[in-house]
Amino acid sequence: MVDMPSLFSLTGKTALITGGGRGLGKAMAFHLALSGAKVWISGRNAATLEATRSEAASCGLELHPLVLDVSNLGTIRKAFSHIARESQALDILINNAGDETLRACDDVDEALWDRLLDTNLKGPFFVAQQAARLMRNGGTIVNMASLTSAAGIAKAVPYSASKSGILGLTRSLAVEWAPRDIRVNALAPGYFHTDMTDIFFQDDAWREKMLSNIPLARFGLPEDLAGPLQFLCSTASAYITGQVLYVDGGTLAAL
């Protein structure tokens, strides 16, 4: 007989969430901490991380802040050296840090292209590379994909390219690291209101148009990611790797 609670348990696990100081990363960090994991949250802004740590503490949760710029290999290595000293091993990585800027193709310059690809694709690879070296008893990696991983969006070519690359990254790492019992999957949120997407949600016409494309007729809430995240991080998904789970209210199904 299967013990369902133990299948989904994260007690005793150590997790790192990049971009964990705000937005969906922050919500996921709180959820994993509530589920019993020791959670490292990383980001570029120490003050933001400290504010999130303090807020978690006021709720009786413990988060461990770690300054890490995913676009900078030097800071990645430094951060993982710190994790290795403090935690020795890592069980879960959530590759959540990301950046997005809408711009017409004719106006995209090399600086914008490099910034988005470095943050959204190069960074997740090198963070995963370092994380895998600490996953001595196997582990799970969840990369954050996007609706743009599967559908073209005007004025979002660099972002779409990076998020499409996340799918290739996820599948290839899943195959290569399967013998080490490291599972690699992706979560792809639909339309969620975060700090990064706030500029779009301020546009009433955009909100109305996007909402009309969502069969469940509402935008995503941070708690909508809790169940899918728990599933992919736990042994409940022990036979699943190289997959992407869209959490989009049915948006892609309606295209």
Catalytic residue among 159, 191, 239, 246: 159
Nearest to 212 by CA among 161, 164, 249, 183: 249
Which DSSP string corresponds to the chain? Answer: ---HHHHH--TT-EEEEETTTSHHHHHHHHHHHHTT-EEEEEES-HHHHHHHHHHHHHTT--EEEEE--TT-HHHHHHHHHHHHHHHS---EEEE---------GGG--HHHHHHHHIIIIIHHHHHHHHHHHH-BTBEEEEEE--GGGTS--TT-HHHHHHHHHHHHHHHHHHHHHGGGTEEEEEEEE-SB--TTTHHHHT-HHHHHHHHHT-TT-S-B-GGGGHHHHHHHHSGGGTT--S-EEEESTTTGGG-
Distance, in Å, from the CA atom of 144 to the CA atom of 28, rounded to the nearest integer, reads 12
**Residue 159 falls in the annotated catalytic set:** yes
Provide the annotated active-site residues: 159
